[in-house]
Chains A and B, each alone.
Chain A
Amino acid sequence: MSSDLRHNWLVRGVAAVGECGLFFVAVAGAVPKSLRYWRELCRQIWFVGAMSLVIVMTCGLFVGMVLALQLYFTLSIFGGTAALGTVVALSLFRELGPVVTALLVAGRAGTAVTAEIGLMRATDQLDAISMMAVDPLAYVASPRFLAGVIAMPLLACVFNAMGIFGGHLVGVTWLGLDNGTFWGNMTSTVDLYRDILDGLYKSIVFGGVVSLIAVFQGYTAPPTSEGVAYSTTRTVVFSSIVVLAFDFVMTAFMT
């Protein structure tokens, strides 16, 4: 490979994707071994999941509220305000819940994971773990990856529940929609498998994507303060892009 080809951004981009893919294989391969470190997994779920609850719940509430407000005025043009509950629920379950949760988690937990692993690399902690005959892939990378896969769908569920609550708050309590209509229309249209479970599959995939990118960026961060800072930024940028792209592809396949 000639040197100018190697510095081509396209080639470097493809190489980075390939590296990330190989890293995914390595991390996934280390998952069985990492189950020994369940305490570390537990700590990471706590960190990725429980620590994100406040932001996810707050955002879920507001997204539900603004969704109800916007849709109410749009639906009232067609005289279809009775469908408010249905529309709010479907938008949340199928689209906004998984996507917004993934973006929030990428910003809150993904960056922290990248910075943490990047600094572990910079301060030789990864080498030290390896020198103590513990596989850093199994001890550091896999638990964080698994924690993302486990925590993300749960967070999305909490987000959805809060969104429904917020939508109900605005639609019924504030705008005076009939309570029975709100729930009745929702329950008659929303389907457990087609809507809720499809959203859940999405957020499981997003959880894997976001935590894989965060761990990968941390692992490959140059061991300098500047390198870690750049990698942290890249985690957010890449996670957002990949989540939205995957969302489109998965939606296209699911409907």
Chain B
Amino acid sequence: MIHPSDAPAPLVQVRGLRTRLGGKVIFDGLDLEVARGSVTAVMGPSGTGKTTLLRHLTGQLRPAAGSVRVDGREVAGLSRRGLFELRERIGFLFQNSALLTDFSVFENVAFPLRQHTRLPEELLRDIVLTKLQAVGLRGAANLMPSELSGGMARRVALARAIVFDPMLILYDEPFVGLDPIALNQVLRLIRTLNQTLGITSILVAHELAAIRQVADRIYLIAGGRLVAEGAPDELAHRDSPWTRQFFGGEADGPVPFHYPAPDYARQLGLAGRRP
């Protein structure tokens, strides 16, 4: 039994992860580690299973082979109860916010507290308002999710994810659809949460400029494997075909831009007639 505090062991440890979803191989021997108190970005072309990786960390998916350890515990080996205990300590920011549509903003943020604690209502209210203040939406406490813009909903979801001061926050595409002001606020929030509370963060995102401002480390995934890792500045200038293509945005490279298809000329009916 590894105690969470006395070990310098990484908070998240993925070893030889293999996953198949619907007959398609998503991960084929993925290894990665996330150190305690770090901000880690996971990048990669669309469809490489970055969101799938996050779902492995929370036990929503079970690996076909390999191990996923969070805080020293094997996620796949946890009972339902153990899994729920783990999830109470993980904040998850969904790509489309996933606010409960028939609760107000306040009740959405209060939801985890109401379910897992018996706090006096005054205290609960103060906690919720503090979290809403942190994302700049204290004034929106009484709005319903349908009245929020996408960016506001994202910030409410973030407030909900941090309401328990979790040890780990997983951000699934946190920057999509945010205006520059909100984007900066979210970036600052991620950094503040990390520095003041020591909350470990894992970001799945594409915005390299934003990531460079917060991330300590970047993992680049492609083809079911880890293809590059390193500090953002170092990685951006590394001379590998993967990084060159991904950070340079070139269409040609190890990652094909085109989905596998029959020959273009042949499909248009040009081939064969006039070779």
Q: Which residues on A are within 8 Å of B, measured CB to CB? A: 119-120, 123-125, 127-135
* Closest CB pairs A-B (n = 4): A128-B98, A124-B98, A133-B84, A133-B87
**CA of A47 to CA of B31 in the docked complex: distance in angstroms?**
49
**Residue in A127, A128, A130, A131 whose Cβ sees the most chain B Cβ within 10 Å:** A131
A132 and B87 form a contact (CB under 8 A) = yes
Q: Which residue of B lies closest to A47 (CB)?
A: B102
Q: Which residues on B are within 8 Å of A, measured CB to CB? A: 58, 60, 84-85, 87-88, 90, 92, 94-96, 98-101, 111-112, 115-116, 160
Given that A127-B60, A127-B94 are known contacts, is A132 also in contact with B101, CB under 8 Å in the complex? no
A128 contacts across to B, CB distance below 8 A: 92, 94, 98-100
Given that A133-B84, A133-B85, A133-B88 are known contacts, is A127 also in contact with B115, CB under 8 Å in the complex? no
B115 and A132 form a contact (CB under 8 A) = yes
Q: Which residue of B lies closest to A36 (CB)?
A: B115
A133 and B100 form a contact (CB under 8 A) = no
CB distance from A189 to the nearest CB of B (A): 47
A124 and B94 form a contact (CB under 8 A) = yes
Task: List 17 interface pairs A-B (beta carbons < 8 Å), by A numbering.
Answer: A124-B94, A125-B98, A127-B94, A127-B98, A128-B99, A128-B100, A129-B100, A131-B58, A131-B90, A131-B94, A132-B87, A132-B112, A132-B115, A133-B88, A133-B112, A134-B112, A134-B115
**Residue in A119, A120, A124, A128 whose Cβ sees the most chain B Cβ within 10 Å:** A128
**CA of A123 to CA of B87 in the docked complex: distance in angstroms?**
20
**CA of A134 to CA of B96 in the docked complex: distance in angstroms?**
19
**CA of A134 to CA of B115 in the docked complex: distance in angstroms?**
7
Given that A130-B60, A131-B58, A131-B87 are known contacts, is A124 also in contact with B115, CB under 8 Å in the complex? no
**CA of A123 to CA of B85 in the docked complex: distance in angstroms?**
24
B116 contacts across to A, CB distance below 8 A: 133
CB distance from B86 to the nearest CB of A (A): 8
| Known contacts A123-B96, A132-B111, then 9 further A-B pairs from the complex at CB < 8 Å, ordered by chain A residue | A119-B101, A125-B99, A127-B94, A127-B98, A128-B92, A128-B100, A131-B90, A131-B92, A134-B112
A133 contacts across to B, CB distance below 8 A: 84-85, 87-88, 112, 115-116
B100 and A124 form a contact (CB under 8 A) = no
B92 contacts across to A, CB distance below 8 A: 128, 131
A129 contacts across to B, CB distance below 8 A: 100
A134 contacts across to B, CB distance below 8 A: 112, 115
A135 contacts across to B, CB distance below 8 A: 84
CB distance from A151 to the nearest CB of B (A): 18
**CA of A132 to CA of B161 in the docked complex: distance in angstroms?**
8
A124 and B96 form a contact (CB under 8 A) = yes
CB distance from A217 to the nearest CB of B (A): 19
**CA of A130 to CA of B98 in the docked complex: distance in angstroms?**
11
B84 contacts across to A, CB distance below 8 A: 133, 135
B98 contacts across to A, CB distance below 8 A: 123-125, 127-128
**Residue in A119, A130, A132, A134 whose Cβ sees the most chain B Cβ within 10 Å:** A132
B160 contacts across to A, CB distance below 8 A: 132
CB distance from A213 to the nearest CB of B (A): 22
**CA of A129 to CA of B87 in the docked complex: distance in angstroms?**
11
**CA of A132 to CA of B116 in the docked complex: distance in angstroms?**
9
CB distance from A11 to the nearest CB of B (A): 20
**CA of A129 to CA of B115 in the docked complex: distance in angstroms?**
10
B60 contacts across to A, CB distance below 8 A: 127, 130-131
Q: Which residue of A lies closest to B112 (CB)?
A: A132
**CA of A124 to CA of B96 in the docked complex: distance in angstroms?**
8
Q: Which residue of B lies closest to A39 (CB)?
A: B114
Q: Which residue of A lies closest to B55 (CB)?
A: A127
**CA of A133 to CA of B88 in the docked complex: distance in angstroms?**
6
**CA of A184 to CA of B209 in the docked complex: distance in angstroms?**
85
B95 contacts across to A, CB distance below 8 A: 124
CB distance from A117 to the nearest CB of B (A): 12
**CA of A120 to CA of B100 in the docked complex: distance in angstroms?**
8
B115 contacts across to A, CB distance below 8 A: 132-134
B58 contacts across to A, CB distance below 8 A: 131
CB distance from A111 to the nearest CB of B (A): 17
CB distance from B148 to the nearest CB of A (A): 13
**CA of A129 to CA of B102 in the docked complex: distance in angstroms?**
13
**CA of A133 to CA of B115 in the docked complex: distance in angstroms?**
9
CB distance from A208 to the nearest CB of B (A): 24
B94 contacts across to A, CB distance below 8 A: 124, 127-128, 131
A132 contacts across to B, CB distance below 8 A: 87-88, 111-112, 115, 160
CB distance from B231 to the nearest CB of A (A): 30
A130 contacts across to B, CB distance below 8 A: 60, 87
A119 contacts across to B, CB distance below 8 A: 101
